[in-house]
Amino acid sequence: MAEIKLVVLDWAGTTIDFGCLAPSGAFVAAFATKGVTVTLPEARGPMGLHKKDHIRAMLRTDAVGGKWRAAVGRDWTEADVEDLYRDVTPRQVEAAVTYSELIPGAREAVAAVRAAGIKVAATTGYFHEAAAAVAGAAKRQGYEPDFNICADDVPAGRPAPWMIFRCMEALGVYPPAAVLKVGDTVIDIEDGRNAGCWSVGVIDSSNEMGLSADELRALPPAELAARREVITERYKQAGAHAAINDLGGLPALIADLNAKLARGERP
């Protein structure tokens, strides 16, 4: 083994939904029904987790937990998590359909990867209904991974590595050094590292950047460069092997990783 055989891609913020806009808005709306006003950055913080774990992670923060106590008059409970999750679910499905456009260059990047004989899988923190919605929308736009799995299909979602391991098993690829995980959150980086594979963050369309394509284009060049630098450092602090501005950088990245593997380097 001296080359990458499988690329595992995230969905929202990586291959669809530029800026990862769908999930965050659903959380803000769900909390608002309880009288709790959360900001988009607060909603984005735990992105990449299973959505029920995402709610727990938000409530465990001092900021959101404090707002909950102020609005509801008590600490949150698991019953509250279940209630919020029931509210979030239809909102997320609706938002996932609304923000289901493929990120520019994603289809071409996948085609280039496949032309090199590399398999493509997809993982997500979405639950079944939302995952099915985005997969269907992507297929209609010409992107269909060789294997697709969501957080509901494994004992624990990210940062546990089980979704990546299931992709490897289903597509017959091993060892982990032959696998490249690409995502747009710190949690994506962590599950890639926990799986023992190469783990890389995408920047411009990411949850970490949090901007629509139009908003990104409107940034002055110096500010864009500064934001990219901050996000790259955030990924590397989480253990990322590299960061790329967009999926157009995948072929060159894979060539670089193949050269490392040929020299005996491993994740």
Give all domains of the chain, ordered by start, each with its CATH number.
Answer: 6-20+101-262 (3.40.50.1000), 22-98 (1.10.150.240)
Between the two ends of the chain, the Cα-to-Cα distance in Å is 13
Instruction: Return the active site residues.
Output: 10, 51
- Look at residue 46 in the predicted model and tell me its pLDDT: 83
Token look-up 């894979």 returns 254
Give tens-digit pLDDT for 113-172.
999 999 999 999 888 988 999 999 999 999 999 999 999 999 998 999 999 999 999 999
Residues 6+ apart with CB under 8 A from 113: 7, 120, 250, 251, 254
- Mean residue pLDDT across the chain: 94
Can you give the pTM of this predicted structure? Answer: 0.86
Rounded Cα distance, 7 and 49, in Å:
20
By CB atoms closer than 10 A (0-12, 13-18, 19+), residue 24 is buried
**Residue percentage of the chain with pLDDT more than 70:** 100
Beta bridge partners of 70: none
- Look at residue 26 in the predicted model and tell me its pLDDT: 86
- Look at residue 1 in the predicted model and tell me its pLDDT: 59
Residue 227 pLDDT grade (very low, low, confident, very high; cuts 50, 70, 90) = very high
- Half-sphere exposure for 263 (CA within 13 Å, toward CB): 8
Give tens-digit pLDDT for 29-87.
999 999 999 998 898 888 778 888 989 999 999 999 999 999 999 999 999 999 999 99
Residue 178 pLDDT grade (very low, low, confident, very high; cuts 50, 70, 90) = very high
